[in-house]
Structure 1
C-alpha cells in the first residue's frame, strides 16, 4: 500500500471509480472500523469480522484475501526459554507459564490474537486471554517489543521480521517459536488470514465500485512487490520505513522472507509454502474452502460464533 500510495495508484483507481479517499496507517484498524470511522478495512480478518458482526450486530462482507497471519512468537536464541534449550514448542510454553514470565503482544485487538488463541488452546493447551489466562502479558507497539525482550522485560514477543525483529532474526540473535499461518497450515487446520478487505453489507451494496477500486490498487501494489520488491525496496527509505529498518541488507532479507515459496534458505523462513502476501487478492474457491475450514475449527475451540456463516458474506469481485 505504501508503494500504491507513493506511485499514485490508489488515487488513480479511486478517482476512476468516482471516489475521494483518505488512508489511515494504523494498528488500530479493527477498532476504527467497528466504530464506523473507516468504511473499507484492509486490516480485519475473517475471524475478526465474525466476532465484530456478532458483538456489534453488523452484517459484514469479506471482499478480498490479502495476508495470512505472519506474526508469531519470537525469543532470544540464547534464552533459557528458547526451544533449543527447553526441547520444543510445548516445553517452552510450559516453562513460560510455570515461571509466570512476561510475554509481549501487539494488543488484544491485534490481528494475530485470534489465531494465537486457537493455536495455544487447540495445540498446546494454554489460554491466551486478557483475563484469567495462563500468560503474564504486556502490550506494546511492534517496534518496542524486541527492545523490551533485549532488556529482559519480557521473555517472548509477538513479532516477525516485518514487525521489528528483522535484524535479529536475520543474524540469529532471535529465533521464532512459530508463525500463525505457517503453524495452522502444518497442522491442516485451514488457512488463517491476518487481514482481509472487509466492508459492511450496506457499503458493498451501495459502493461496490469503491471496494473494487481499492482492491485493484492493492493488487497492483502486490504485483510490484512480487515482481520487483527484492530489487526496489532495499535502499528506498520510504519502503524500508514500512519494515522499520534502515539497513538495505535487512530490508532485502525481510522482503525475501515475505516471498515464502521462493526463499526457503533464509533464517526463520516458513516451513510451508503458505503465502504471506497473496499474489492474487481475489477470493477463489480453494481459498474459500480453506478459510471456511479454519473458521469451523475456530468455532470448535470457542474462538468464533457458531453462526458465523450467517454473519459474514464472501464477495468474489
Structure 2
C-alpha cells in the first residue's frame, strides 16, 4: 500500500483523508497532520460497521494543553454525486485520546470515500482559570501592546487630543493627527509634503469607507484596534491598506483571511486575492475549491462567479482543475 493511502491533505482549518480501498475487516490510521498547535490522526475501522476516530497525537502538549475542539465531520462519496453523511456539529469537546470522539456509521459503504473534517475552533484552557481561549484569537491579542506609549496614542485618537486634520468617511468624520498618519503611511506622508488640497484644507476624503471601517483603520494605525473590529472589517481594512500603502496591515489582513476560508466566503476572498495581488490567499482559495472539491458544494454560486470573474483568474482556476484531474 502506497504512503499516499495514509496522507491527510490540509488547509489552515480543513483536513481531508481520501480512502480508495478498505477491506471488509480492516483498521487504518492516518499519518499525523498539523491543525493549530497539535498533530492529529484520523483512524477508520471496518467490521460490522464503520467507525471513524479523530484525536490529537499523544505528546507533552496534548497532555498539558489538550485541545477543546469544535468541528464538523463528513463522509463524502468521492465519485458520482458526491453525496455525504454529516455528523451533527461537535461543539467545544475536549480531545485527549483516540476514544474521545468516535463516529459509528451503520450505513454500508463501498468504493472510494473522503473523510472531511472542518475545524470551526480550537481552544485551550486558560492558565488563569475562566473560559477557554481560542488559539486563533491569540495572534491578534498578542499584537495589542499594553505599552504606555501605545495606550497614549489610542487616547489621542479616541479623545481627539490636539487633532489637526479631519477624515471624512462616507457617513461621518473623525479628527486625527497628520504626524501619525504620515509616519504610518507613505501615501499620507506624500499628501502632507506637497501643496495638495488635503494639506491646504486639513481634510482627507475617504468616501469609499464607512465611518466604522474608517475608525477601525485609524485604530489599527494608532495601535489600538480590537480583535472583533479587525475581524468585522478585514476586507475594508485590506482595501485601505492597499490604497494607503500600510504594508503591515495588508500582511495582517492577508494572514487573517487565510485562517477561516469556508464555502460562504471563498469566492469573495478569491476575488480579493486577485484584486490585491495576494498569491498565497489565491492559491489557498483555489485549492479549497478544486482539490478539496468544495466547488461542488456551491455549484450555483461558483457558476455565477465564473460568468463575471476576470479572464486571467478564470484561466488560473481551470488550470488548477486540469492539474488536479491529471493527478487522478
Normalising to structure 2: TM-score of the pair?
0.25
Name the one with the larger strand percent. 2
- The higher relative CO (CA closer than 8 Å, separation ≥ 6) is in 1
Q: Which has the larger radius of gyration?
A: 2
TM-score for both structures, normalised by structure 1: 0.26
